[in-house]
Amino acid sequence: MTQPPDTGTPADRWDGHVHVFEAAAPTRAGHYAPPPARLDTIERLAADHGIGRLVLVQPSVYGHDNSVLERALRASAGTHRGVAVVAPDVDDATLDHLHRAGVRGVRFNLVSPVGNDAAQLPRLAPRLRALGWHVQWYASRSHLPRIAELQAHTRLTFVLDHLAGWRVDEPASDDSRRALLHLAAAGAWVKLSGWYRLGAAAPYQALVPAIRDVAELFGDRLVWGSDWPHTGQPPQAPPRYASLLQPVREALGERRLAGCLGAARLYA
């Protein structure tokens, strides 16, 4: 079993992108029906690899019903953090409630057919800023110009899921490249996660050049995440947890991998 670098303790190391699912929780019509994925299962798996803290990300199947996310956060007694999806008309009391539960950001999913549009963000931005929250984006490269415009307008911290959608099997447009440069200059972060969503197969060596390119732009504003339980992948053959750390280790080395596991600045 490959361990993360021997820096700090498990309490200092984060898996920055996981989901939890409950068997009886209602899901949105027209989308996938996930099997249960329990908090204690991913806690044990992460602990086996020296990681003690998790960022629980609201999946698209639950829409803006964050009940499963909240229950998992409260069960962790402050150890973990969350990223929620909120309704366009969310009130201050709900945001405060989510903050107390451990939520530190909102997510917009521009990829899923039942994702949530970002039209509400300009109105929501002052309240997110007051809470110290960031905005997380699950988006393709074609969405980056719009995201860059929203960042310039809202002046919030943005986090780009899954290597900012930088696929190995599709060329990037000039507009997407320019937008990524603008986002990097504006202080955005990137999650090093979801390798199998980017046209790569284990051991994901095809992504090493892209990881290096993104790391050169974003510096230390990188967060590693396993994307457990790997929705959309065959459940009988999930990727090995250690294999998801390896491309970052190969691309950036042990010291920078350690930095990618230290996500406390985003999730304090």
- pLDDT, tens digit (0-9, with 9 covering 90-100), for 24-60: 898 886 677 889 999 999 999 999 999 999 999 999 9
Task: Name the pairing type of β-strands 81-84 and 222-224.
Answer: unpaired
Residues 121, 135 contacting (CB under 8 angstroms): yes
Kindly state whether residue 3 falls inside one of the protein's structural domains: no
Kindly state whether residue 28 falls inside one of the protein's structural domains: yes
| Sheet of 134-138, strands arranged across | 14-18, 53-57, 81-84, 103-109, 134-138, 158-160, 189-192, 222-224
User: Choosing from 12, 15, 96, 227, which is the catalytic residue?
Assistant: 227
Structure confidence at residue 29 (pLDDT) = 67
Kindly state whether residue 5 falls inside one of the protein's structural domains: no
CB-based burial label for 253 (10 Å; 0-12, 13-18, 19+): exposed
Residues 53, 79 contacting (CB under 8 angstroms): yes
Check if 227 is active-site.
yes
Structure confidence at residue 169 (pLDDT) = 82
Kindly state whether residue 22 falls inside one of the protein's structural domains: yes
The least confident of 7-11, 110-114, 148-152, 159-163 is 7-11
CATH number for the domain spanning 49: value is 3.20.20.140
The percentage of the chain sitting over the pLDDT mark of 70, rounded to a whole number, equals 95
Kindly state whether residue 78 falls inside one of the protein's structural domains: yes
> Residue 3: which pLDDT band, with cuts at 50, 70 and 90?
low
- pLDDT, tens digit (0-9, with 9 covering 90-100), for 172-223: 789 999 999 999 999 999 999 999 999 898 899 999 999 999 999 999 999 9
- The distance in angstroms from the start CA to the end CA of the chain is 30
Structure confidence at residue 172 (pLDDT) = 78
Cross-strand pairs, 189: 159
Kindly state whether residue 111 falls inside one of the protein's structural domains: yes
Q: Which domain covers residue 76, as residue numbers?
A: 10-267
Overall domain count for the chain? 1
pLDDT of residue 5 exceeding 70: no
Structure confidence at residue 117 (pLDDT) = 83
Kindly state whether residue 123 falls inside one of the protein's structural domains: yes
- pLDDT, tens digit (0-9, with 9 covering 90-100), for 194-207: 999 998 988 999 99
Kindly state whether residue 104 falls inside one of the protein's structural domains: yes
Q: How far is CA 213 from the centre of its chain?
A: 19
